[in-house]
Structures are given as structure tokens and as C-alpha cells.
Amino acid sequence: MDRKGRRSLSLFTPGPVDISGAAHEALVRPILHHRTGAFIEILSGLVADLKATFLTEDDTAVLSSSGTGAMEAVVANLLRPGDRVLVPVTGKFSRRWAEICRVYGIDVIVIDLEPGEAPSAEMIEASLKRQRDIKAVLLTHCETATGSLTDLETVSMAIRDTALTLGRRILTCADCISSLAVDELRKDEWAIDCAIAASQKGLLAPPGLAFVALNGEALRWIERVSAPRYYFDLRRYFADVSRCPFTPAVSLVQAVAASIKNLLRRGLENVWAANRAGTKAVRLLIEAAGFSPLAANQSSGVTAFWTGEVDPVRVAGILHEHHGIVVAQGQQELKGRILRVSAIGKSRRQILDFAEAFEATMTHMGLKHEIEAVRPRLKHILEDCRIWE
Ligand SMILES: *Cc1c(COP(=O)(O)O)cnc(C)c1O
């Protein structure tokens, strides 16, 4: 419901997103004790389904925290104070890797990029060759602040090849929080040593769980680290990923397990295609209203666009108050300059409703637009969103 309790709100934000019916049903089931066979079975099923979604054979641990908890756990467990890492920064979320590393006394080399840019393989390779003692590269698959997608496959392969040339191992870590089950991601094929995700984005579940997938190399790095850690000591989780070391968020495990099963039933590639179509539709609409997107390489998780002379707070306010649609503002240096719209998990009907609300908002504000003219193309694009029906 919105503040006046009139109708239920639709979240077109890049996390949390509206949860699936399966997640919703699972949330009201009775609490299982986490040491019972019934719960261990659910958690094991969730781990297997997460592996199928990351496309990895690696063990994947479930943490009861938001996504940032997994980022911190990775930094605290894989890196030592004084280690040097490379972090391409393109917005608030990729910057978070650098911030966490600095807190842990890690020496961070930043590649500063403009909003909407993504790091290229050439940039990364050049930095690795210039600074020969870099131990790890911390990447952000989809920079949720700008909607920019990193070509993770090409970048990760470049890291692996450069490391081979330099004759040593460089660890590739990727924040896939807003790309898992949204954009194509193939952890093992793309040689990603460590990938993380969270429950409240592509998995269409409530916030509160985070996931860490580590290969053998990454697990060996944990053993090198002697800095103190307790709750997020990843050795405790990877000892047996189907038994959480502490009481997990039981209801959330049940909800994510149900939701991810549903996604996999629809087919991972169909889910990627549906999210891509939803995003294409949003991008078509905002361009028809005369706005330009930030991302050169558009992710399927979120479309961020410059609002120019138009007040983004007012656009978001009208969408919310008149139409029950919540979109996201810009953060930090982008505050007051952009809006962000996510179509993750949205059906044809929901996106057509968004189109109508967006058109009415533009008209209400007296802004010129050509939304009516793109409607036939919009309907055509949305065919791929039928999987949600
Ligand atoms: C949402 C998001 C996060 C932060 O996750 P929290 O769950 O809020 O801690 C980190 N990185 C990216 C890319 C995200 O989209």
C-alpha cells in the first residue's frame, strides 16, 4: 500500500523487487528448526539451485545478511592487510568494494570511470601489467547505480591470461548481486574465482540472504588469512554448505528456495531473455520521452537515465502518488540528476501499466513525448516477458 493506503505499490526499483508468488507463499510456512532433516533438505536444494543459477560446480554458501555482508566476508576472508587489489569504480556499488578493502587495510588501486562506463579488458590488463603485485581484481557485473554492465567474460579471461603471462595467480571476484538470474552469467566458464549475490534482486525474494560461490583456489586463499573473524569466518560455512554454522534466516531460506525453483523451472535462459525484454521496453519508453540512458552497455537489471532539466524527484513523486509505482533516485554524485527503473521479473501487463503511468506523468508535467508512437514496438518487445504469466 502507498502512504494513504489506497493500493498496493509496484516496485520498479533495482532491489528490493516485488517478490514472486512462490516466495510469498513460502514466507508464511511454519518455522523449521535449522538442525532438522527437513530444513537441511531445503537448504541443500537451495544450494544446488544457486549453483545451477551461477552455472558453477563450486560450493556456494548462504549467509544471513544483505549483499554487502557477502562483499565484506569475501574481503575479510580472502585478502590480507597490505595486499594490493584492483577495483574499477563506475558508481556507488563498485566504489563499495574499494571502501570495504580500505577498512581492512588493503591497498586499493582504483580505475576511475565515468558514470555509465564499464571497465574494459584492455584497461584491466594495462593496470595489472603496470602494478605487478596486484593479488585480486574486484569487479561489479552490473553497476546498479548506473545500469552499466561489465563484459565479465572478456574481462575475466583477460585477468586469467595476464596472470599466466606474469606467472602468478590473480583472483577474480565479481559482485553479481544485481545480475544473478537477470543477465547472462557463467561463473565457471568465465573463470570467476569468487562470485557473490543476494536474495532481493533477480531471485525475486525478500532482502536478507547473501550468497558466496568460491572455487578451490579461493578456498585456499582463505587459509592464508590470519586476521580475526568470527560470524563471517567463511571456513565455518564452507565446511558444509548445507548446514549453516549459526541459526539462519529460516523463513528467507524457505522463500528463496521456492522462488529460485520456480525460476529454474521457467529456464534460466528464458529468465535472462524476459529481463532483457523488460529492460528494452523501459529503455524504449524513456527514450520516447526524450531522456538518455547512462549505460553504454545496458544491463537487464536497471535502466538509469539523465533527467536533464526535468526534476527527477517530481517524476518519481507523481509515479508514486498517482500510479502506485516506485522508481529509484540517483545516489551520491548522481543525486537529483537521474532516475533508475528496474523491470526485473515484471510481466507484460505490469510493464504496460508502467508505460501508461509514465506517459500520464509526462503529460501531467506538460512534457513533450512520443510514447504513443512506440506502443506497437513495445508490445512486440514484451512477447519475451510471457514467461512470467
Ligand atoms: C543491491 C546491491 C548491493 C548491496 O546490497 P545490499 O543487499 O543492500 O547490501 C551491492 N552491489 C550491487 C551491485 C547491488 O546491486
Write out pLDDT tens, residues 58-102. Answer: 999 999 999 999 999 999 999 999 999 999 999 999 999 999 999
Write out pLDDT tens, residues 204-244. Answer: 999 999 999 999 999 999 999 999 999 999 999 999 999 99
Write out pLDDT tens, residues 92-118. Answer: 999 999 999 999 999 999 999 999 999
pLDDT value, residue 151: 98
Mean pLDDT in residue range 307-328: 97
CA dihedral 179, 335, 319, 303 (to 10 degrees): -30
Mean pLDDT in residue range 301-320: 98
Write out pLDDT tens, residues 334-357. Answer: 999 999 999 999 999 999 999 999
CA 143 to ligand 1: nearest atom: 13
Contact between residue 9 and residue 1 where contact means Cβ atoms under 8 Å apart: yes
Mean pLDDT in residue range 291-300: 98
CA 66 to ligand 1: nearest atom: 7
pLDDT at 6 over 80: no
Write out pLDDT tens, residues 129-146. Answer: 999 899 999 999 999 999
Residue whose CA is at the smallest distance from ligand 1 atom 2 = 177
Contact between residue 206 and residue 252 where contact means Cβ atoms under 8 Å apart: yes
CA 210 to ligand 1: nearest atom: 7
Mean pLDDT in residue range 9-19: 96
- Ligand 1 pocket, residues with Cβ under 6 angstroms: 15, 66-68, 93, 140, 142, 144, 175, 177-178, 198, 207
pLDDT value, residue 311: 97
Ligand 1 centre from 93 Cα, in Å? 7
Ligand 1 centre from 143 Cα, in Å? 9
pLDDT value, residue 256: 98
CA 142 to ligand 1: nearest atom: 13
pLDDT value, residue 84: 98
Please state, for a pLDDT cut of 70, what percent of the chain lies above it: 98
Q: What is the 3-state secondary structure (H, E, C) of 190-248?
A: CCCCEEEEECCCCCCCCCCCEEEEECHHHHHHHHHCCCCCCCCCHHHHHCCCCCCCCCC
pLDDT value, residue 335: 97
Q: Which residues pair with 304 in a beta bridge?
A: 340
Query: What is the edge-to-edge ordering of all strands in the sheet holding 328-329?
Result: 292-293, 303-306, 338-341, 328-329
Distance CA 389, CA 337 (A): 35
Q: If pLDDT is split at 50, 70 and 90, which confidence band does 1 have?
A: very low
Ligand 1 centre from 233 Cα, in Å? 20
Mean pLDDT in residue range 33-43: 97
Write down the mean pLDDT value for the chain: 96
Ligand 1 centre from 368 Cα, in Å? 35
Q: If pLDDT is split at 50, 70 and 90, which confidence band does 7 have?
A: low
Q: Which residue has the higher pLDDT, 373 or 3?
A: 373
CA 140 to ligand 1: nearest atom: 13
| Alpha helices (H) along the chain | 21-27, 37-54, 67-78, 92-103, 121-130, 152-166, 216-224, 234-238, 250-266, 268-288, 312-323, 348-364, 371-381
Ligand 1 centre from 200 Cα, in Å? 9
48 Cβ partners below 8 Å, 6+ apart? none
Mutate which of 64, 74, 178 for ligand 1 pocket (most atoms within 8 A of beta carbon):
178
pLDDT at 5 over 80: no
pLDDT at 27 over 80: yes
Mutate which of 74, 144, 299 for ligand 1 pocket (most atoms within 8 A of beta carbon):
144
Ligand 1 centre from 331 Cα, in Å? 13
Q: What are the C-alpha distances in Å from 380 to residues 276, 277, 288, 305, 359?
A: 13, 10, 16, 23, 18
Q: If pLDDT is split at 50, 70 and 90, which confidence band does 272 have?
A: very high
Ligand 1 centre from 141 Cα, in Å? 11
pTM over 0.95: yes
Check residue 113 and report its DSSP letter: -
Ligand 1 centre from 252 Cα, in Å? 17
335 Cβ partners below 8 Å, 6+ apart? 329
